[in-house]
Amino acid sequence: MNVVGSKSFGVSREDDLAFFQTVTLFRDVPDDELLAIRKIARYENFAAGAVILKEGDPTNDFLIVREGTVAVVVIRDGKKVEITRIGPTSYFGEMSVFDDYPRSANVEAITDVAVCRIEREAFRAFIRSHPAALFQMCTVFSHRLRNTNSALTKR
């Protein structure tokens, strides 16, 4: 997996809170709830070129890019197809919060990358006690699906 190391990002609680406030997935989540998310997040670093998630692997967490750029790629007919690149405050693997299906794509570090990893069960416990955050997530997922549908119909 080529993990470079772990560290706690931000020099203060306020710095981490400011980061989580910029993540669209948590846009309307109150600060006290963001602090609860901060407590369940694990921070990791990956070197450029590392495969962070592998298509077909079991799912149990999602990740938020803190620093750097990752590519979401699939292998089709033996060829690597890049779906998108994402950077800071974007997230990937979030479908694993809701289902137990295998990973649908590889995620590779384009640059050195720092991420916040949030385990499924810890996040599900958070959602049970903070249901308004789930509504925000559904809103973001709905927007993503609409954008994808729009892009597909323009082809």
Q: Is the pLDDT of residue 28 over 90?
A: no
* All domains in the chain, ordered by first residue: 3-153 (2.60.120.10)
Report CA-CA distances (Å) from 36 to 20, 74, 110: 11, 33, 30
In SS3 terms, 70-122 reads as EEEEEEECCEEEEEEEECCCCEECHHHHCCCCCCCCEEEECCCEEEEEEEHHH
As a whole number, mean pLDDT of residues 73-81 equals 92
pLDDT at 12: 54
Two tokens at 50? 């590392």
Q: Give 84-101 pLDDT, tens digit per residue.
A: 999 999 999 888 888 888
